[in-house]
Structure 1
């Protein structure tokens, strides 16, 4: 009887380790989600309510994979830059009650196609990836989807997954099947994390706009089709988000605006729950 009482007490008290006021957000994609532009001093202001779950070991930053740290850039790998996730989290922290904490996970690989995150097909994609990309993939133990899932399960012990952020598509420009491929990644994530179908919103950002000289702006009409494939998905506009000269990446200013828009949409969604 004492053993039974102890087990009941253990499992009951253990359940309280998950904080329902700790909102977790998964983010993935290619170089714009990874963070291409250098962050500036204004971007490194710490907010104690905004945390990042470290995706790779970064000894120079005194960060270890799988641990929570104040969410200051880089949020992805050790030498990456500013991402939409930075100002997504800052916007949430500024807009939600002080009782709410925000946690973000970022697993992104510059230059990759969405196929890299297909859990049953990624290996064939990795085989044909260029050497410089294989080095980045290796930092996620050769399987970025698997790493994102591993980290998400760690995060679920501490909080509740409330959303998924995606910025990807440059390497799939012109691929009309892209929305269906994203749906496959999304469905696998929810299933593998024990979450209900369409239960978590997916926010996908547009690529650099034509007005900003975007070389892949023709992908934006394809990205716009995502909500017709995933009902609980939303497209985040890149209009007026400043780009750099390559026509592929946003400037730091552009990331701030785009990230704030991700955050504003998520705040709207949360308030309508």
Structure 2
């Protein structure tokens, strides 16, 4: 037996195996850089509290898509699958959300080759602590009965669901930003900004993202000019950019509201969603910098 030839073959095979193993992660899927994905989280105003109207369900551009976050048999939608973003976007029976008109405005203004995909995980009435990936069990253990049904749809772990969906989405496109609307249940909480930073930092780390490429857009709660019952929280929300340089605050001034002064009405959601989009478009075209 020619041991020299045998050794040469073994070395060649080993080298090829090493090369394929090295390349495998980069060729296992092809990301479309023109598929822009946005992760959206929060409580009821992100979830969508107002009933959507006929104008909200027609003429939705198929370039605007939603990844289903829960199974909705009645809507013929399955979790982890992409669909044209016709409301409801959050769960099977939720209403209009700012994300509806965020996405519509984005695709209207971006080049036609660009698609926009959104993933929404939101739970009405929740504190930001629900999205703390380390400590959420202590929060969910004390959750009120009316919240437990919503939590169950996310297998009791909304952060985990958002993360798993985001990883699946990264196989198809590129995460461009994170949209937050939360704060009503943390009104007056001086530690809220740091808690949000913890959630944001975890998402960046767990998804291998960089803050200067993935800004955080946080909407104000119902404004004082609308008699907002939690309007004082906007003073805390305004401090986000001081702790998170890549954060941008979206004004809710003038966005019309429901009778409870806690939620926006349909018109208010449309306007707020457009404002999220205008801010994101400014970031994308470089007129506003994400540091």
Q: Which TM-score band (shorter chain)?
A: over 0.9
1:252 to 246, 255, 266: 266
| 1:174 to partner: Cα distance | 0.3
Counterpart residue number, 1:153: 167
Q: 1:129 aligns with which of 143, 151, 155?
A: 143
The answer for the alignment partner of 1:180 in structure 2 is: 194
What is the deviation of 1:76?
0.3
Q: 2:6 — aligned with what?
A: none
**Partner in structure 2 of residue 263 of structure 1:** 277
- Equivalents in 2 of 1:223, 1:31: separation in Å? 17
Shift of 1:16: 5.9
Residue among 15, 22, 25 paired with 2:38: 25
Shift of 1:196: 2.3
Which of residues 48, 51, 67 is equivalent to 2:62? 48
Could you tell me which residue of structure 2 aligns to residue 120 of structure 1?
134
The answer for the alignment partner of 1:39 in structure 2 is 52
Match for residue 5 of structure 2? none
RMSD: 2.0
Deviations 1:195-231 (A, max 9, x none): 1245310000000011111000000000000000100
SS at match of 2:217: strand
Please give the TM-score of this superposition, normalised by the length of structure 1.
Answer: 0.95
Q: Distance in 1 between matches of 2:168 and 2:146?
A: 29
Does residue 67 of structure 1 match 2:81?
yes
Please list every run of at least 4 consecutive aligned residues from structure 1 whose deviation after the TM superposition is greater than 4 angstroms: 1-8, 10-13
How far 1:269 moved relative to its partner? 0.4
Unaligned runs of 5+ in 1: none
**Is the partner of 1:72 in helix, strand or coil?**
coil
The 3 A distance-change label for structure 1 pair 231 and 41 is same
CA-CA distance at 1:17 after TM superposition: 2.2
Tell me the distance in 2 between the aligned counterparts of 1:136 and 1:46: 27
Shift of 1:135: 1.0
1:28-73: CA deviation from partner (whole Å, max 9, x where unpaired): 0000000000001111132111100000000000000000000111
- Aligned to 1:255, what secondary structure does the other structure show? helix
Pair 163,249 (structure 1): closer, same or farther in 2 beyond 3 Å = same
2:245 maps to which of 226, 231, 254: 231
Stretch deviating more after TM superposition (10-19 or 232-241): 10-19
| Partner Cα distance (2:99, 2:169) in 1 | 16
Alignment of 1:82-121 (within 5 A): 82-121=96-135
So what's the TM-score if we normalise by structure 2? 0.90
Looking at structure 1, the residues matched to 60 and 109 of structure 2 have their Cα atoms a distance apart, in angstroms, of 16
May I ask how many residue pairs the two structures share in their alignment? 273
Change (3 A) 1:13 1:208: closer
Q: Which has the larger radius of gyration?
A: 2
Residue 215 in structure 1 maps to residue 229 in structure 2: yes
